[in-house]
Chains A and B, each alone.
Chain A
Amino acid sequence: MPPLDASMPPFDDRTNGRTNDRTNNDRNPDTVHKAIIFEDVVIGFEDIQVLDGVSFELRRGETKVILGVAGSGKSTILKLCLGLLKPDSGRIYVLGHDVTTMTEEELFDLRSKVGIVFQESALFDSLNVRDNVAFRLMEEHLPEAEVEKRVRESLSFVELEAAIDKLPSELSGGMRRRVGIARAIITHPEVLLYDSPTGGLDPITSTTIIELIMKQRDVFKTSALMVTHRLQDGFTLASHYFDPASKHMKSSDGMPSQDIRTSFMILREGKAVFEGSAHELGQVQDPYIKEYIS
């Protein structure tokens, strides 16, 4: 096999950078520019094939919106990224680590660099908001003053400082989702995973959550995968930017200098049937995708 040209990254882009003559074991993935790399990932539960050869890459600083109908494997992708599930075959690189070969102990360290917001928030119902947000810091035995400072910082980011002493059962669905975001960002992770962050919320609360995700993307440049079945959430992210001056999102229309860095991927029956920008999604001729986005 010819040696790789050191001046060229192993992957040029998604479509033409992958070569068939290289195996998984004899080349290194581009983890400098890519936060997450999925290579031909297959996973099934009992007789159902959930992901059937899914490959994609998430560039550093990019937000990728994963769309698909219920049961298409969207949430499974996020759990695979964290090593909560192991694929039947294929490779998954997260921040340069091959999570498919790592033990649970090794994954605990990696997970400190990856935050996740679960579909139903998954807050610890016996702990109050403060302890939920501070959970990881308390596990690391950080000084109390440092924990308090960072909890307030995180809750202030999601504008929920007033709820610090409340139990999850005392919060509304939107507030729980915001606490989930605060818990995910408290360690300043390099990658954030959002599992249907606006699912089951009213439109106004959904916009608040999307604005927070946008704020995280534009202020902290965090790489993110956002799973959703709400197309409008993806398009809002792709067409707006967070303005720190007004502390609100603004439309990027007519401002080509705004670097939105948001792309889309659509899953269908365990396969990625589309990957590209919002503009490319609008131009696509595939009847299924056209019907999906209509």
Chain B
Amino acid sequence: MELNSPFDFAKRSVLAVQEYAYLSVRSLANLFRKPLYMADTIQQADLIGVGSLPIVVLTGMFTGIVLALNTSKTLEQFGSLSLTGRLVSFSMVRELGPVLTSLMVAGRNASGMASELGSMKVTEQIDAMRALGTDPYKKLVTPRVISTVFMMFFLTIISDLVGLVGGWIISFSMLGLDSTQYWNAAYQALHYNDVITGLAKPLVFGFIIATVGCYFGMTTKGGTQGVGRSTTQAVVVASVIILAVDAVLTQLFITLS
């Protein structure tokens, strides 16, 4: 295997960041330029939003269940079992709902976008689109970005709700807590800025998922092997960026509040 010099590696990395920034800016700038490809956007919203619903519901449900089970053990030692709802709701809404939903959607959709656009790239369909006078960024990238950002918002709300229901099932059936007690604690745990934090994060994560997926798709090289490589890279990079940005956003919202 050929070894690359550190200079070449640095050059390629800077170029990749530049290309990613260009794609991201262009995907946003296209929002203000016609045509808007509403049909493509709705189709993508269906694929990303409705298509991801089962996996998001399952993830949210099991996360709520596991949260209730784990926290109850600790809370029981301090005689504060009634605070289970509070811990589940705070953790789900502020952190686990947005992050786990984003990671699930990244696994499903960033890979899907990278493989779909990557296949189009290696079979010259992207070039054909440009040759036919259509801007592939406008037709392919922008609808995916808009629909992912839009659907991530609602998927996260669903995930949060289902997670709370999962926690309630455990609290009610296994911990012997009263339903009203659980939901009251869950409601009181949340402050306005927790909800804002929990709903702002998925918007940023949705943008990351779509732009990273599209970036790796649009820069695919090397035939079917290249498509596979792009697909894997899209999921890995999107997941890592989501976790890194989550840390930054969490600190930012704590500072702002």
Q: Mark A109-127, 1 if CB is under 8 A from B, else 0.
A: 1011010101110111100
Q: 1/0 contact trace for A56-80 toward B, CB 8 Å?
A: 0000000000000000000000010
**Bound-state Cα–Cα, A124 to B121, Å:** 11
Q: Are A120 and B133 in contact (CB under 8 A)?
A: no
In angstroms, Cα B132 to Cα A183, docked, is 9
Residues of B within 8 Å of A, CB-based: how many? 15
The CA of A136 and the CA of B131, in the complex, are separated in Å by 10
A124–B131 contact, CB under 8 A?
no
B19 close to A (CB within 8 Å): no
- The verdict on A170 contacting chain B, using a C-beta distance below 8 Å, is no
Could you tell me if A84 and B133 are in contact, using CB atoms closer than 8 angstroms?
no
Tell me, yes or no, whether A235 is within 8 Å of chain B by CB.
Answer: no
Q: Is the CB of B125 within 8 A of A79?
A: no
**How far, in angstroms, from A161 to B133 measured CA to CA in the complex?**
25
Is the pair B133, A125 in contact by a Cβ cutoff of 8 Å?
no
| Residue from A116, A119, A122, A124 whose CB has the most chain B CB atoms within 10 Å | A122
A144 contacts the other chain (CB 8 A): no
Question: With A104-B135, A111-B132, A139-B132 known to touch, is A120 a contact of B127 (CB < 8 Å)?
Answer: no
Q: Which one, A82, A108, A122, contacts B125 given CB within 8 A?
A: A122
Contact bitstring B109-137, A, C-beta under 8 A = 1, else 0? 00000000001100111011111111100
Chain A residues, CB < 8 A from B124: 118-120, 122
CA distance A52 to B128 in the complex (A): 26
Tell me if A135 counts as interface (CB < 8 A to partner B): yes
Q: Which residue, of B123, B125, B131, has the highest number of chain A Cβ atoms within 10 A? A: B131
Contact A84 B127 (CB under 8 A): yes
Helix, strand, loop or mixed for chain A's interface?
mixed
Q: How far is the CA of A109 from the CA of B119 in the complex (A)?
A: 26
CA distance A112 to B131 in the complex (A): 8
Give A105 to B127 CA distance when docked, in angstroms.
15
Name B127's contact: one of A79, A108, A135 (CB within 8 Å): A79
How many Å lie between the Cα of A139 and that of B133 in the bound state?
9
Partner of B130 from A84, A109, A119, A123 at Cβ < 8 Å? A84
Specify which of A82, A123, A139 is in contact with B134 (CB 8 Å cutoff): A139
* Closest Cβ neighbor of B134 among chain A residues: A139
Q: Is the CB of A84 within 8 A of B123?
A: no
Task: Give the distance in Å from the alpha carbon of A74 to the alpha carbon of B139 in the complex.
Answer: 29
The complex places the Cα of A200 from the Cα of B155 at a distance, in Å, of: 48
Q: Is the CB of A112 within 8 A of B133?
A: yes
User: CB-nearest residue of chain B relative to A81?
Assistant: B131
Min C-beta distance of A150 to chain B, whole Å: 14
- Check A116–B131 contact: CB distance below 8 A: yes
Minimal beta-carbon separation of A276 from chain B (angstroms): 29
The answer on a CB contact under 8 Å between A111 and B131 is yes
B99 to chain A, nearest CB (A): 32
Q: Looking at the complex, which one of B119, B125, B131 makes contact with A84 (CB distance below 8 Å)? A: B131
Taking the closest CB of chain B, its distance from the CB of A134, in whole angstroms, is 11
For window 121-163 of B, CB contacts with A under 8 Å fall at 123-125, 127-135
The complex places the Cα of A119 from the Cα of B130 at a distance, in Å, of 16
Asked if B125 contacts A136 (CB within 8 A), the reply is: no
Inside 8 A of A84's CB, which chain B residues have their CB? 127, 130-131
Cα separation A183 to B124 with both chains bound (whole Å): 15
- C-beta contact mask, A173-185 vs B, less than 8 Å → 1, else 0? 0000000000100
Q: Is the CB of B133 within 8 A of A122?
A: no
Closest beta carbon of chain B to A42's beta carbon, Å: 21
CB neighbours (8 Å) of A120 from chain B are 123-124
Q: How far is the CA of A84 from the CA of B124 in the complex (A)?
A: 11
Contact call B130/A111, Cβ cutoff below 8 A = yes
> B125: which A residues are within 8 A, CB to CB?
122-125
* B6 shortest CB reach to chain A, Å: 18
B114 to chain A, nearest CB (A): 16
- Expressed in whole angstroms, the minimum distance between the Cβ of B144 and any Cβ of chain A is 14
A84 to B135, CA, bound (A): 12
Give CA–CA (A123, B123) in the complex, Å.
Answer: 9
Residue of B nearest to A116 (CB): B131
For window 180-222 of B, CB contacts with A under 8 Å fall at none
Top-5 shortest CB links A-B = A122-B128, A122-B124, A108-B133, A111-B133, A136-B132
A-B contact pairs, 8 of them (CB 8 A): A104-B135, A105-B135, A111-B133, A122-B124, A124-B125, A136-B133, A136-B134, A139-B133
Residues of A within 8 A of B (CB): 79, 82, 84, 104-105, 108-109, 111-112, 114, 116, 118-120, 122-125, 135-136, 139, 183
Apart from the given pairs A122-B124, A124-B125, A139-B134, 8 other A-B contacts in the complex at a CB distance below 8 Å? A84-B131, A105-B135, A108-B135, A112-B133, A118-B124, A139-B35, A139-B132, A183-B132
